[in-house]
Amino acid sequence: MALEENKNRKMQFGNPYADYEYYGKHSKRTWPSMVVGLLFGIGLCYFAWYRWHEINMAEVMGGTVSLTSIEWILYKVGGKWILSGILFLCGVGFAYLGVHNYRRLEKMKVEG
């Protein structure tokens, strides 16, 4: 999408000029955003599983687990599945955004 078109979009997230700012040869790379997105997304998915496992163990074995206030609200509303589910979805979302951005830049590389 050309900058002029991008500038006129009703909704703007972040820097609309980001794709056009050239800092050096590394600006031509399309993969860094994908790597960051995937790493962050996979990390979040692992954290979701870890939290689920921790809470599950506490529920089964009768131990205690420390939760933040937001986690506590989510746990009270929908149990460990909601809590871990939201974290997992966020992780998937980040990974998707990383891949989406990579594909968008690759498309831009070809089409301009």
Partner 1 sequence: MFFYYQIRNHPHKTVAVPEITCPLCHTAGHMEMNFMQKYAWVFGPIAPSGKFAMAFCDHCKNHVPAVRWTDEMDTVFQLHKRELKTPRRLYRGLIVFPLAMVAIVGAIILVTKVKGNKQQGNQALVKEAIAHPRKGDIFQINQSDGTNTNYTYFKVASTRGDSIYMYPSTVHLTDMKDMKQWDEIPVADDAYEKTPIAFSIKQAQTSDMFMYNTQPTQYGIVWSLYRDGQLYKKY
Specify the stretch interacting with partner 1 by CB under 8 A; choose among 32-40, 73-81, 84-92, 103-111: 103-111
Nearer to partner 1, 10 or 25 (CB): 25
Q: Is 25 in the site for partner 1 (CB under 8 A)?
A: yes
Segment near partner 1 (CB under 8 A); pick from 16-24, 40-48, 51-59, 73-81: 16-24
Three-state DSSP string of 45-67: HHHHHHHHHHHHHHHHHCCCCCC
Greatest pairwise CA separation for the chain in angstroms: 60
3 binds partner 1 (CB under 8 A): yes
By CB under 8 A, residue 70 contacts partner 1: no
Task: Give the containing element (helix H, strand E) for 100.
Answer: helix 69-111
Q: Is residue 22 part of the contact set for partner 1 (CB under 8 A)?
A: yes
**Binding of partner 1 by 36 (CB under 8 A):** no
Give CA–CA dist 90/76, Å, rounded: 20
CA proximity to 89, closest of 79, 78, 100, 81:
81
Interface with partner 1 (CB under 8 A): 2-4, 15, 17, 19-25, 27-30, 105, 108-109, 112
